């Protein structure tokens, strides 16, 4: 099981793109693996005959054997040599996997060779295969529009829209009960996806292990919103205009560069400080939450940050985000302002030192130049790990972000 992200501890085999006994070339896509960040195809780093030792639906720790390529007399035919420890990890993990029990249990007898071979001969991209599996679409019935007739995402989506609805094989398992004594009516229990399970575990660990505190500050965004309106009015057709969140990302990055203590972590009883300022931006996906990373945000222009965050958000929503794009973050920004939320406390993305929660920009009465007038105000809430950031440290960071946002021309460089 390859390590596909810096936080990956285990992975789930979603789909083998090659069959047992196939000849595999170096660089050829071999298997789709679901990590805590995303699902991606893993390319073979060598050539030879494939011997699969872990079946689809299996969840294994990083480093466990999932297949052998080439000659390996010591390799057993059905399981890795370290069968006992792998089984100990695999059993509880399989129970939390998003696949139906049939996939998490011991492999069922293989399908007829003709059907399996027919399916594997179809040329299709990994995401096209994943979507087809989710909607129960037979790829044999789809015409490919990609290079060499390869089936791509658009082909599957087009065919899926016209095909009758079929329950996907990998849909989360649900159970229903009619216990009316509770007064809740019919109760439906749905198994979480592996990503949802990992999010739940890590958020629970963060709340249980991080001695956090929060600081809140009001930011006058009147100048910033005026500047953004002017940029939008003068922008060429199709040109991206930086959002308020892009401004927050840039302001946070500049403030972090000035205060390195906040651009770090508490890990294994030691302080870690990072030379690069990489800001993660929380993006809501379908039934999940993903945090892609804007690397070296302090060195990028506002326009570059705007273009990058827009592209990353689209990849999250389309399911094409990759683990490298969600790794390496040193600080996180979470924004719920678009939903009208004035303020909230975000859970720290451990082991990072802090996370910034961004509320809505709204017109409210405020004292300005000695007079009460309507101003565009925004609430920022900084949650800090008290082991690495003390009250004064967090307050200085938050005050600096506020100062930069209230003088938005300082973000242009």
- Domain assignment of residue 74, given as a range: 10-121
For residue 158, tell me if it sits in a domain. no
Does 146 map to a domain? no
Q: Clarify whether residues 236 and 357 are in a common domain.
A: yes
Q: Is residue 195 part of a domain?
A: no
Whether 111 and 236 share a structural domain: no
106/223 same-domain check: no
Model pLDDT, residue 92: 34
Whole-angstrom distance, CA of residue 286 vs CA of residue 84: 36
Whether residue 323 sits in one domain with residue 217: yes
**CATH number assigned to the domain comprising residue 109:** 2.40.50.100
Say which CATH number the domain at 360 has.
3.30.559.10
**Shared-domain flag, residues 117 and 261:** no
Q: What are phi and psi of 15, to 5 degrees?
A: -160, 130
Considering the domain architecture, whether residues 275 and 392 belong to the same structural domain is answered as yes
Instruction: Kindly state whether residue 138 falls inside one of the protein's structural domains.
Output: no
The answer to whether residues 112 and 221 belong to one domain is: no
Domain boundary among 94, 121, 148: 121
Do the domain assignments include residue 38?
yes
β-pairing verdict for 293-294 and 288-290:
unpaired
Place of tokens 């057993």: 76
350 and 227 in one domain?
yes
Kindly list the catalytic residues.
386
Please report the pLDDT score of residue 176 as a whole number: 60
Same domain, 247 and 379: yes
Among residues 121, 136, 152, the one where a domain terminates is 121
Residue 160 has what pLDDT? 59
pLDDT at 328: 92
Among 121, 146, 174, give the residue marking a domain's end.
Answer: 121
Domain-located, residue 293: yes
Residues 224 and 97 in one domain: no
Whether the bond into 351 is cis, omega within 30 of 0: yes
The total domain count for the chain is 2
Residues lower than pLDDT 70 in the chain: 6-7, 36-37, 72-121, 126-127, 130, 134-136, 146-148, 153, 157-182, 413
Q: What is the pLDDT of residue 172?
A: 55
Angle formed at CA 27 by CA 26 and CA 33, multiple of 5 degrees? 115
Model pLDDT, residue 87: 33
- Shared domain for 402 and 294, answered yes or no, is yes
Same domain, 109 and 218: no
Residue 220 has a pLDDT of: 97
Q: Does residue 20 sit within a domain? A: yes
Q: Would you say the pTM of this structure is higher than 0.75? A: no
Task: Report d(CA 180, CA 186) in Å as an integer.
Answer: 7
Residue 141 within any structural domain of the chain? no
**According to the 3-state scheme, what is the secondary structure of the chain?**
CCCCCCCCCEEEEEEECCCCCCEECCCCEEEEEECCCCEEEEECCCCEEEEECCCCCCEEECCCCCEEECCCCCCCCCCCCCHHHHHHHHHHHHHHCCCCHHHHCCCCCCCCHHHHHHHHCCCECHHHHHHHHHHCCCHHHCCCCCHHHCECHHHHHHHHHHCCCCCCCCCCCEEEECCHHHCCCCEEEECCCHHHHHHHHHHHHHHHHCCEEEEEEEEECHHHHHHHHHHHHHCCCCCCCCCHHHHHHHHHHHHHHHCHHHCEEEECCEEEECCCCCEEECEEECCEEECCEECCHHHCCHHHHHHHHHHHHHHHHHCCCCHHHHCCCCEEEEECHHHCCCCCCCCCCCCECEEEEEEEEEEEEEEECCEEEEEEEEEEEEEEECCCCCHHHHHHHHHHHHHHHHCHHHHCC
């Amino acid at each position: 099981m390859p390590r596909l992200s810096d936080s990956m501890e285990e992975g789930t085999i979603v789909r083998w793109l090659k069959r047992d006994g196939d000849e595999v070339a170096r660089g050829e896509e071999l298997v789709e693996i679901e990590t805590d960040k995303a699902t991606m195809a893993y390319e073979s780093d060598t050539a030879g005959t494939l011997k699969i030792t872990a079946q689809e639906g299996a969840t294994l720790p990083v480093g466990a054997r999932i297949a052998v390529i080439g000659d390996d007399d010591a390799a057993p035919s059905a399981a890795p040599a370290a069968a006992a420890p792998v089984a100990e990890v695999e059993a509880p993990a399989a129970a939390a996997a998003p696949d139906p029990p049939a996939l998490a249990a011991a492999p069922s007898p293989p399908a007829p060779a003709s059907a399996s071979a027919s399916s594997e001969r179809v040329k299709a991209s990994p995401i096209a295969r994943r979507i087809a599996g989710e909607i129960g679409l037979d790829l044999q019935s789809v015409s490919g529009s990609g290079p060499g007739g390869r089936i791509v995402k658009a082909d599957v989506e087009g065919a899926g829209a016209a095909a009758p609805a079929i329950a996907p094989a990998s849909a989360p398992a649900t159970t229903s009960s009619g216990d009316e004594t509770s007064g809740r009516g019919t109760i439906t229990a749905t198994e979480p996806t592996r990503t949802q399970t990992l999010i739940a575990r890590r958020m629970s660990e963060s709340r249980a292990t991080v001695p956090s505190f929060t600081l809140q500050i009001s930011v006058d965004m009147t100048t910033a919103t005026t500047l953004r309106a002017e940029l939008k009015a003068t922008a060429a057709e199709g040109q991206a205009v930086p959002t308020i969140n892009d401004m927050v990302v840039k302001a946070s990055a500049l403030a972090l560069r000035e205060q390195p203590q906040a651009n770090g972590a508490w890990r294994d009883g030691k302080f870690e400080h990072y030379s690069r300022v990489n800001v993660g931006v929380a993006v809501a996906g379908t039934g999940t939450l993903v945090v892609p990373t804007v690397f070296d945000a302090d060195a990028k222009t506002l326009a570059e940050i705007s273009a990058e965050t827009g592209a990353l958000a689209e990849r999250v929503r389309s399911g094409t985000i990759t683990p490298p794009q969600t790794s390496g973050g040193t600080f996180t920004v979470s924004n719920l302002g678009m939903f009208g939320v004035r303020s909230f406390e975000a859970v720290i993305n451990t082991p990072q030192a802090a996370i910034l929660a961004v509320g809505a920009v709204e017109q409210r009465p405020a004292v300005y130049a000695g007079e009460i007038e309507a101003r565009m105000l925004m609430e920022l809430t900084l949650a800090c790990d008290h082991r690495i950031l003390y009250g004064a440290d967090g307050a200085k960071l938050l005050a600096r972000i506020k100062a930069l946002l209230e003088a938005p021309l300082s973000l242009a460089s």
